[in-house]
């Protein structure tokens, strides 16, 4: 990999096209943050079970929050070329929209280090949503997870990035 890599260059491949873990030794430690989100859509009855706290397996969103935090911490065990990171913060929120029978999961992950935390935030969101599915699949196997994406990232050499899609949605 060259030092001056463009954003379109795939950094996880060497000059021979072999997969490798990116060398971050020369990079400076900076405070890095990423925010990701995703949605799970379900039947109104399923959402009612979650919001009323009557799921047979327990507090669905409480358990999904813990699962999301644990997943962020274990991302490098799941994604082969991810660096193991010492996370300084993982914050997970769920918001319920009864009109669309959806729950949105949003994760903010932070570290002080040489590489970003986008993968950790995305992993937290996906595992949080998977946990909701797992806990409620007995009553609703048709739940759909979608729109998993990075909303923003801050820190590092490339600086700040905010999703233009979400900026357009809010204007």
> How far, rounded to the nearest angstrom, does the alpha carbon of residue 116 sit from its chain's CA centroid?
12
pTM of the full structure: 0.86
Q: 129-159 pLDDT, tens per residue?
A: 999 999 999 999 999 999 999 999 999 888 8
φ, ψ at 73 (rounded to 5°):
-70, -25
Neighbour-count burial for 84-112, b at 16+ CB within 10 Å, e otherwise: ebebeebbbebeeeeeebbbbbbbbbbbe
Q: For position 1, what pLDDT does the model report? A: 29
pLDDT, the chain, mean: 89
Active-site choice (93, 134, 140, 166): 134
DSSP collapsed to 3 states, 134-163: HHHCCCCCCCEEEEEEEEEEECCCCCCEEC
pLDDT band at residue 4, thresholds of 50, 70 and 90?
very low
Q: Dump pLDDT digits (tens) for 40-89.
A: 999 999 999 999 999 888 899 999 999 999 999 999 999 988 899 999 99
Active site residue 134: yes
Domain residue ranges of the chain, discontinuous segments joined by +: 34-157
Architecture of domain 34-157: 2-Layer Sandwich (3.30)
């Amino acid at each position: 990999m060259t030092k001056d890599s463009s954003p379109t260059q795939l950094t996880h491949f060497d000059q021979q096209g072999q997969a490798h873990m990116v060398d971050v030794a020369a990079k400076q430690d900076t405070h890095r943050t990423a925010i990701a989100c995703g949605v799970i859509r379900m039947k109104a009855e399923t959402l009612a079970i979650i919001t009323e706290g009557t799921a047979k397996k327990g507090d669905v969103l409480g358990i999904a929050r813990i699962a999301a935090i644990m997943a962020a911490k274990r991302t490098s065990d799941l994604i082969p070329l991810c660096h193991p990171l010492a996370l300084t913060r993982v914050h997970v929120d769920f918001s319920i929209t009864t009109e669309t029978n959806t729950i949105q999961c949003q994760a903010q992950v932070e570290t002080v280090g040489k590489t970003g935390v986008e993968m950790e935030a995305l992993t937290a969101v996906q595992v949080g949503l998977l946990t909701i599915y797992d806990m409620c699949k007995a009553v609703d196997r048709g739940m759909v997870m979608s729109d998993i994406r990075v909303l923003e990232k801050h820190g590092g050499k490339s600086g700040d990035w905010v999703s233009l899609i979400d900026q357009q949605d809010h204007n």
